[in-house]
Amino acid sequence: MSIMCHDDETGNTHCHAFIQPIDQKGHLNASFFTDGKENGRSRYSRLQDSYAEVMCSLGLQRGMKGSKARHKDIKKFYTELNQAIENVPIPQKGELATDYYERFQEQLETLSAAYLKKGLERERAADEWVTRKINDYKKQIHLEHQNQKQLLEQNLRTLSLQVIESRTHYQEAEHKIQETSAMYQQLIDNKEQELSALTNQLQEIQDLILNYENEYRTMNVADFLALLKEDTPIYQSLAAIDPESTQLLSTFQDRFQNHLQQAEPEPDQRF
């Protein structure tokens, strides 16, 4: 809106500029130029960079980026300036200009060295501050990295234990399946052996019956019953094949004998 030049202060010529902050949308918006970031950089810092680029031809240098230094109070600045002026040596009576110049030059060099020392101390302090901040940031990153590493290692150990436990359960289940399969196979084998033995016994009985069929086909009832007594070969053969068959044979004898008594057959009756 306006620019005013101030030239009333010796060695401190400067300007005051009044600027109306209008953003890209045509709105009055000062925070658009000072707050937030643009392309990862602070907008206010970008303004300071652009100002330094324009003023570098006049010997001005940009201040330290991110510095926490504060501007010196104007009253304190003028006090120090007046003290420096008071320390300027006064020409002595009868002193030559060349001698005064040399003495003044020595005093100026002393003051310059003192200010240079203060400047170096401020730069050293700023460097130390930056170094501390960098070290703190590194420690923070290292601590976060260690925490993440410990968390990942803990999760890895937990997963490893779960895998081992699952593998153990699987092996136990597989072992039980094998034991059950072996037990059922043994049971099947035993039943097959029993069935085979019964089949063989049945076949032997059938063969025995066939062997005696023709021989005793015309035998009368009394002789047949006598043949089935305990001391006969057929009874002993059946007992050797299956002991339980003798009980069936005795039951058969009793029932057949009762049937004969009820029917009262002839002694020489054939069957």
Interval 212-256: pLDDT, tens: 655 555 555 566 666 666 666 666 666 666 666 666 666 666 666
More confident residue, 31 or 10: 31
Q: What is the pLDDT of residue 270?
A: 45
pLDDT at 31 over 60: yes
Q: What is the pLDDT of residue 148?
A: 92
Question: Which region among 115-119, 188-192, 243-247 has the lowest average model confidence (pLDDT)?
Answer: 243-247
Here the tokens at position 193 are 């052996």
Q: What is the pLDDT of residue 271?
A: 43
Task: Give the SS3 label for residue 42.
Answer: strand
Domain ranges for the chain, please list them: 1-63, 217-271
Cα distance between residue 52 and residue 45, in whole Å: 11
Nearest to 21 by CA among 44, 51, 53, 41: 44
Say if pTM beats, i.e. exceeds, 0.85: no
